[in-house]
């Protein structure tokens, strides 16, 4: 499908989706979000992509919602718009999403990175929720996901001052899983994606669901959920193959069923 605001490529069971409006630091206008949702859902439907890397062209991952597009919007228009339904659709994507954050991840850009399942950051990346400087506040999950990721005090400081943090600070507080030299960030994310893509797809899907469950349930509910997923995997061919391969001292050949 031809896209105007993103580029998409696939290789070895993984996809790379690149936000491609570098002149405006990949500001997330509606058209970009539409294309992003459409590309992710198409991968889900098609079924051969096992892990997706999301990155940005140029100096930014994304510098937030498109401020020019938001400038004239009224509260009722924001409420009636489908803006946040798109974020919910991304949240429902079952394929693992890795954000390869190459530069600025600010406002909606930081929120989009946090909506992904893992973040690999370039040493030069910056993460922030600067909405307060515009007289507004995060609206796409920033107050919730950032707080869960880095704790109340640090999240409060970022959200109330709008000051960004560096990739190293983000690593120290657990927002990102690793920091790598800027020129290798996409390759590192792709390597990670290929490692995940080679695992049993049903196990990966249920494991992702179970980890995400930790965000919205209490411990007992989460443990129950985990156990149900665990039992279910004993009905898969991949479980028989994985255990047989271990016992036979060979690499497993998973089939995703």
Catalytic residues: 65, 108, 111, 131
Residue 173 dihedral angles phi and psi, to the nearest 5°: -100, 10
Give the nearest distance from C-beta 105 to ligand CAA in angstroms. 10
Cβ at position 45, least distance to ligand CAA in Å: 27
CB of 109 to ligand CAA, least distance (A): 7
H-run or E-run covering 38: helix 30-46
Task: Report the nearest approach of ligand CAA to the CB of residue 219 (Å).
Answer: 30
Q: Contact, 126 vs 104, CB < 8 A?
A: yes
Cα(178)–Cα(174) distance, integer angstroms = 9
Which one, 136 or 233, has the nearer CB to ligand CAA?
136
Inter-residue contact 129 to 110 (CB < 8 Å): yes
Task: Report how far residue 1's alpha carbon sits from residue 233's, in angstroms, rounded to the nearest whole number.
Answer: 35
Question: DSSP 3-state assignment of 155?
Answer: helix
Shorter beta-carbon distance to ligand CAA: residue 43 or 87? 87
Output the residue with the shortest Cβ distance to ligand CAA.
107
Distance CA 55, CA 52 (A): 10
- Indicate the residue among 128 and 200 with the shorter CB distance to ligand CAA: 128
**Encoded tokens for 26:** 């990949």
Q: 3-state class of 79 per DSSP? A: helix
Nearest residue (CB) to ligand CAA, 157 versus 187? 157
Integer Cα distance of 138 and 153 in angstroms: 16
- Footprint on this chain of ligand CAA (rule: CB under 6 A): 24-25, 27, 63-68, 104, 106-108, 111, 130-131, 134, 138-140, 142
């Amino acid at each position: 499908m031809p896209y105007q605001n993103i580029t998409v490529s696939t290789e070895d069971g993984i996809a790379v989706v690149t936000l491609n409006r570098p002149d405006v630091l990949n500001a997330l206008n509606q058209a970009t979000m539409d294309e992003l949702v459409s590309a992710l859902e198409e991968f889900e439907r098609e079924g051969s992509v096992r892990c997706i890397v999301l990155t940005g062209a140029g100096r930014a991952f994304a510098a937030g919602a498109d401020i020019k597009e938001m400038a004239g919007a009224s509260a009722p228009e924001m409420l009636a718009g489908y803006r946040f339904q798109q974020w919910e659709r991304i949240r429902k994507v079952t394929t693992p999403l890795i954000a390869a954050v190459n530069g600025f991840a600010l406002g909606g850009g930081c929120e989009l990175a946090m909506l992904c399942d893992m973040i690999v950051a370039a040493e030069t990346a910056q993460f922030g929720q600067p909405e307060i400087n515009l007289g507004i506040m995060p609206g796409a999950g920033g107050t919730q996901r950032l707080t869960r990721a880095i704790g109340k005090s640090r999240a409060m400081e970022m959200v109330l001052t709008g000051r960004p943090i560096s990739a190293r600070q983000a690593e120290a507080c657990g927002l990102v899983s690793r920091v790598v030299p800027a020129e290798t960030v996409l390759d590192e994310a792709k390597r990670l994606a290929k490692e995940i893509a080679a695992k049993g797809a049903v196990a990966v899907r249920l494991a992702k669901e179970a980890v995400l469950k930790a965000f919205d349930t209490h411990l007992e509910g989460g443990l129950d959920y985990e156990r149900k997923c665990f039992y279910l995997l004993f009905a898969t061919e991949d479980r028989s193959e994985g255990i047989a391969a271990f016992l036979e001292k060979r690499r497993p050949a998973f089939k995703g069923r």
